[in-house]
Amino acid sequence: MATVLGIRCDDGAVLAGDRQATVGGTVRSDAVRRVFDYDDAGAALVGDVGAIEEFDRRVGSELRRERLDSDEPPSMERIERIAADLAGEVGVDGLVAGTDSNGNAALREIGSDGLVLATDATAVGSGAAVAYGRLEDADEGASVDDIEALARETLAVVAERDTDTGDDIDVLRFEGTA
């Protein structure tokens, strides 16, 4: 499947995910993009490659439209609702980051079942169980640099233990505005 994770701290959030796609235990690609930057938001996704691409295209378009319609960045509540609705429609699971009403970075887990869960550190995908052990050490008071390092280290450990997670990763830093 693959693994994506997100960690939030006082100064921001980090989304990270590997690029490997496996089918039936065989690596099909090491170039699948799972982490996306939408300027005012970010997403990290697992699921079918076509569904991930469809989610990216449609969320990007919807968030651009929201910015044009209101001349303001979309609220975190709007970002999570758009993402959760599309996740359910196309069948992906993942994480979204944005800025809450206080200007702080916010992290949400979204599911293909409509789930929206506020979280400070979580992982989704085939290596999530391995990642959780390391993510428990995430310090909310850490710097964005520190949580980026933790995200990279965690995915490296996951790649060693989960054959569906690769060691080529993408990372997106999302910093709050407060």
Q: Kindly list the structural domains of the chain, giving each domain's residue range(s) and its CATH number in brackets, ordered by start.
A: 3-175 (3.60.20.10)
* Token pair of 175 as six digits: 């910093």
pLDDT digits (tens, 9 = 90+) for 120-172: 999 999 999 999 989 987 888 899 999 999 999 999 999 999 999 999 999 99
CA distance 136 to 30: 28
Q: Nearest 5°: phi and psi at 25?
A: 85, 0
Q: What pTM value is reported for the model? A: 0.94
CA distance 17 to 161: 15
CA 167 to chain centre: 17
Q: What are the Cα distances from residue 11, in Å, to 44, 135, 141, 169, 176?
A: 19, 17, 8, 22, 6
pLDDT digits (tens, 9 = 90+) for 55-86: 999 999 999 998 888 878 889 999 999 999 99
**Counting Cβ atoms within 10 Å, is residue 161 exposed (0-12), middle (13-18) or buried (19+)?**
exposed
pLDDT digits (tens, 9 = 90+) for 2-54: 999 999 999 999 999 999 998 888 889 999 999 999 998 999 999 999 999 99
CB 4 within 8 Å of CB 126: no
Q: Nearest 5°: phi and psi at 158?
A: -60, -45
Amino acid letter, residue 105? A
